[in-house]
Amino acid sequence: MAENKNLVLSSNNQEIGGEIVVAPEVVEIIVGIAASKVDGVYAMRGNLASNVTELFGGSAHDKGVYLKNDEGSIKIDLFCYLNYGVSVPKVAMDMQEKVKQQVLYMTDLEISEVNVHVVGVVPEKVALPDLDELFDSEDEEE
């Protein structure tokens, strides 16, 4: 979860002045959306609050994302489930690259670390056989 420290962006425009402040929750949402869009990612790991939010039709884009700001060094931990059959290192590297690119593009913040934690692998759903078809075929044989 995000710390209560806002991130201050440096402004190169000296004519206008002022500063731009980004809440850590905003960065978490950007990271969550970017990470979940990578091919091979089934879902991000959530907690009870995010699961209840999704149950009632909301969306929790920051689930599975933990942001840490140490003296200007931003570190991100991602917890995710992957689809069965994908290359775990390739998907993890894609997630790291995509997250760094999106945060840099949208906030102009440099990320020092993106740690990907694979919590589990979700197998493909196999269609269950129709029991009526199985038992009807036995009746027809007799």
Give the pLDDT confidence of 57-99 residue by residue, as tens digits: 555 556 789 998 887 789 999 999 999 999 999 999 999 999 9
Give the pLDDT confidence of 6-64 residue by residue, as tens digits: 777 765 666 667 788 888 888 989 999 999 999 999 888 865 444 445 455 555 556 78
CA-to-CA distance for 110 and 99, rounded, in angstroms?
11
Tokens of 11: 């402004």
Q: What is the pLDDT of residue 100?
A: 95
